[in-house]
Amino acid sequence: MREFMFWNLLLLAVSLCDCLPLDDGRTLIRSEARGKLATSVTVERHVAYAPEPRSNLTKNMVALVMFDSTYQNLWDCWMDYFQKKSLHQDLHVVVYDKKAAAHVGDWRQQHPNVHFNLQTIIPEPVGSTKMLLNIGGSAEDARWDSSAYESNFWKVILDRLRQGKDVLHMDVDAIAAGDAWEPVNYMLGTFGKDADVINTQKGEIQYMFFRNTPTSHALVEKFAKEWEVYDHLATSGSADTGKLAAARPLEPQVALEAYMKKTGCLRDETLEPALSNCRLDIGQTIASGSGMRGRGLTVKIAALGNDKKVVQNAYCTEEECDKLLIRVAHGRNAVKRWCPNYDIASVVNHP
């Protein structure tokens, strides 16, 4: 009789609470009915994600992703993975046209409990967009990056460094298979304050972390200034096509690697985490609130190593990636595996 009363009371309590999965892994009892006596009770085990220690991360660290409407559907996939385990740090989303801004706004309405910073940057309508890339007509559609992305890439990072942030930039095809911050945490634990920049290999930027140091400021300012000067030249109408072609900065995807090669610190691909010292070659010293910096400074770039935590075209399930310690899967071939239910065919087939 007591056992019968116990189960009746238990069923009644469950029916009144509409229990949700617990985040600490405890056993829960969930009702199949709501607001009335339950007809069945399901007992299950909810195992919460157990993050690795984040002792090297601080509240001033932010993640950054940039894109335009060409890649907005891919961002949906990127965001669905990123929000699972990586939103313990602030996220900044930057879009480069009104369509992408509206798309992200709609996504926000559908996910009211997911919080991030949104910035919209739209180029001035002076016909300079095509000039910035020295191309015209349909050729611009064949590029992986838009002209707005390329000309603002370094400035967007620099703005956040000037706000006192450490910045983790991720390409929109760098999918968070696990905690996207874990590689940064690991490298900061390995090299401590010796690293100004953390990336995967050489000068790659698909996963790139800038610590808020005078040296990283100077490096990013160098690239941002190049685009600022070029934008002025392109919009002024004072230069012909030949001069524009000669003055055009390298696109961000290759600029850092080319600079490392120029300064003599570009090493071969490394299998294990390694640190490169690059002497900044800046023509004049730059004055800022944090002091004088420029010529003579050495930027320390730490590479994760080959297939360490951030892996090109990683083909594994989330569970398999977790066992292999893969936290980010990068590359257009990888997104075919990670985003099968998203309309990204035009992006995957983009040259």
Q: What is the residue-level pLDDT of the chain in tens, covering all 351 positions?
A: 544 444 444 444 433 333 333 233 222 222 222 232 222 222 222 223 344 568 899 999 999 999 999 999 999 999 999 999 999 999 999 999 999 999 999 999 999 999 999 999 987 654 444 445 544 333 444 456 788 899 999 999 999 999 999 999 999 999 999 999 999 999 999 998 889 999 998 788 999 999 999 999 999 999 999 999 988 888 777 777 778 888 889 989 889 988 888 877 776 777 888 888 888 876 444 444 444 444 568 889 999 987 789 998 888 888 999 999 999 999 888 888 899 999 987 776 655
Tell me, yes or no, whether 56 lies in a domain: no
Please say whether the beta carbons of 33 and 39 come within 8 A. Answer: yes
CATH number at residue 256: 3.90.550
60 CB burial (10 A radius; 0-12, 13-18, 19+): middle
Q: What is the number of domains present in the chain?
A: 2
CA atoms within 13 A on the CB side of 91: 18
Beta-bridge mates of residue 94: 66, 119
The verdict on 66 and 29 lying in the same domain is: no
Tell me which DSSP letter residue 349 carries: T
In 103-249, where do the E strands start and end? 117-120, 166-170, 174-176, 197-199, 207-210
Of 319, 208, 321, residue with least CA distance to 255:
208
Phi, then psi, of 330 in degrees rounded to 5:
-115, 145
| Helix (H/G/I), strand (E/B), else coil: 12 | helix
The verdict on 32 and 139 lying in the same domain is: no
The verdict on 171 and 298 lying in the same domain is: yes
The verdict on 40 and 65 lying in the same domain is: no
| Helix (H/G/I), strand (E/B), else coil: 160 | helix
The verdict on 103 and 171 lying in the same domain is: yes
Tell me, yes or no, whether 202 lies in a domain: yes
Tell me, yes or no, whether 235 lies in a domain: yes
Please say whether the beta carbons of 317 and 177 come within 8 A. Answer: no
Tell me, yes or no, whether 51 lies in a domain: no
Q: What's the pLDDT at 38?
A: 27
The verdict on 148 and 238 lying in the same domain is: yes
d(CA 143, CA 146): 7
Cβ neighbour number for residue 284 with a 10 Å cutoff: 7
pTM: 0.78
Tell me, yes or no, whether 194 lies in a domain: yes
Q: What's the pLDDT at 282?
A: 64
Q: What's the pLDDT at 338?
A: 92
The verdict on 187 and 303 lying in the same domain is: yes
The verdict on 157 and 220 lying in the same domain is: yes
The verdict on 18 and 95 lying in the same domain is: no
The verdict on 34 and 121 lying in the same domain is: no
The verdict on 147 and 259 lying in the same domain is: yes
Q: What's the pLDDT at 292?
A: 41
Beta-bridge mates of residue 301: 197, 276
Of 92, 255, 245, 222, residue with least CA distance to 155:
222
Q: How far is CA 55 from CA 8, 19, 185, 220, 345, in A?
A: 47, 33, 7, 27, 40
Please say whether the beta carbons of 31 and 63 come within 8 A. Answer: no
Q: What's the pLDDT at 124?
A: 66
Q: What's the pLDDT at 83?
A: 96
Q: What's the pLDDT at 262?
A: 83
Tell me, yes or no, whether 54 lies in a domain: no
d(CA 301, CA 281): 15
Tell me, yes or no, whether 108 lies in a domain: yes
Residue span of the structural domain in which 168 resides: 61-348
226 CB burial (10 A radius; 0-12, 13-18, 19+): middle
Q: How far is CA 335 from CA 51, 143, 242, 332, 351, in A?
A: 24, 18, 38, 5, 15
Tell me, yes or no, whether 55 lies in a domain: no
The strand pair at 117-120 and 90-95 is best described as: parallel
The verdict on 38 and 137 lying in the same domain is: no
